[in-house]
Amino acid sequence: MKKTVVILLVLFTVFSGFAGGAAEKGGKATLGGPIKIGSIQDLSGGASTAGQPNAWGAEYAVKILNEKGGIQGRMVEITTMDCKNDAAEGVTSYRKLVDEIGVVAIIGPPLSNPAAAWVEMSEEDQIPIVGHFMDEVCTTDPETGKPYPYMFLAEPSSAIQSYCMAEFALKKLGAKSAATLYNPGNAFAKSQAAPFVDYMQKNGGRIVTEQTFSWADKDYSAQAIRIVAANPDVVFLCDYLPQNVTSYDALRDAGFKGPIIGANTLSLPFANMVKNPVKEVYFLQNYDMLNPNVGNFYELVSLHMKETNTASPAANVGFGWDAVQVLAAAMEKASDPTDGKEVAALLSKTSGVMLSSGSTITIDAATHRPNNMGMYIADYDANKNLRIVDYIEVN
């Protein structure tokens, strides 16, 4: 009897030791258990039209990844949190994911305000973050030009996108002058407007007026009248959807008849929301949106619209999907996919990862942003259907 008790005690002690050893600090994934990743998106804030499909795309990508056997045979668990397009909420979400849930990497939002706040924390916690925060200050230190070690962008930066649009305006539309109308309080808009102005001016174009509005403004007709008086060839818009709708109607109501060009936020459902006829609207697109013959983007968008009962296709579905592909590719190569330091080092060497667009992504180790990725230019036909009209690549 004594012998049995002693054997049981020994076994208990041994197994307790194993159990203690397996549990890591901060609730991180146990060896061989699921790999926990986080997704921080704007689910209820001012950019939720982008954040919700982004979250869906990331979650769907994880689902498909798991169906194909996960990463190194381990399932992936994704936890999505709402940053409400707010830097402080973004920090809270980050801390919950890292400290309480124990994620080892994060899929970031298509927002620069929250992402910029994670730069130091991600370095301290060694948490790689892959996202679509296009402002270059999220990936490289503006003072030193060096990349932040744990921040990675999975699409062309704001500057590159704006250069593409400016190039299109100059070369394809033959514009000699332009005006801008945007909210400088919106980091997304600001990060697009400045490079657009810069590129136009450096390449022979002229900026005749830069008009602005604030979050509190609901009527932009004074700015629109001023733009019409300045008589630009094109007007550049780069805010979120509701502001773009108001800007467009204000410009057309004021009598501006020229092309209105801008960010990918002029994409659907923009055409269905404006009161004026949709004419000569050109905007950036990351994907050849409704082409079923390239990549799996069309399939993703169709499924998203069906599952969420959404009326318009959303490019952000592809953003969420793509960010997971980039992260998963690095984790797959790592000797320990939960080692943030190793995964981050591999992310900086990302090359040839297939995206939903059907093209591949290569990340520049010097900037942590993609190399040689261009942008599509789209417009609307007479029935308000989106169509791709050009592809521009600018470095």
Partner 1 sequence: MIFQLLINGISLGAVYALIAVGFAVVFSVLKFSNFAHGGMISACAYMGFFFQRAYVPAPPIFVTILVTGVFGMFLALFLDLVAYRNIRKHKSPGIYYFLSSLTISIIIEQVLNIRFSKNPYAYPNIFESTFFMVGDLRVSTMDTMIMAVSLLILVALVLLIHKTKMGLAIRAVAINADTSRLMGINSGVVVVMIFLIAGFLAGVSGVMLGAKYSVYPDLGQTMMVKGFIASVIGGLGSLGGAIVAAIMLGVLEMFWTYFFGAFSAPVMLFVIMLLFLIIRPQGISGKFAKEKV
Binding site for partner 1 (CB under 8 A): 43-49, 52, 212-214, 216-223, 225-226, 229, 241-242, 245-246, 249, 252-255, 269, 272-276
Instruction: With beta carbons less than 8 A apart as the criterion, state whether 361 and 353 touch.
Output: yes
Least separation in angstroms between residue 373's CB and partner 1 is 28
**Comparison of 105 and 271: residue with beta carbon closer to partner 1:** 271
Least separation in angstroms between residue 284's CB and partner 1 is 20
**Comparison of 78 and 314: residue with beta carbon closer to partner 1:** 314
**Comparison of 208 and 327: residue with beta carbon closer to partner 1:** 208
Least separation in angstroms between residue 354's CB and partner 1 is 31
Least separation in angstroms between residue 279's CB and partner 1 is 13
**Comparison of 166 and 314: residue with beta carbon closer to partner 1:** 314
Least separation in angstroms between residue 133's CB and partner 1 is 19
Least separation in angstroms between residue 293's CB and partner 1 is 30
Least separation in angstroms between residue 253's CB and partner 1 is 5
**Comparison of 198 and 249: residue with beta carbon closer to partner 1:** 249
**Comparison of 47 and 329: residue with beta carbon closer to partner 1:** 47
**Comparison of 43 and 169: residue with beta carbon closer to partner 1:** 43
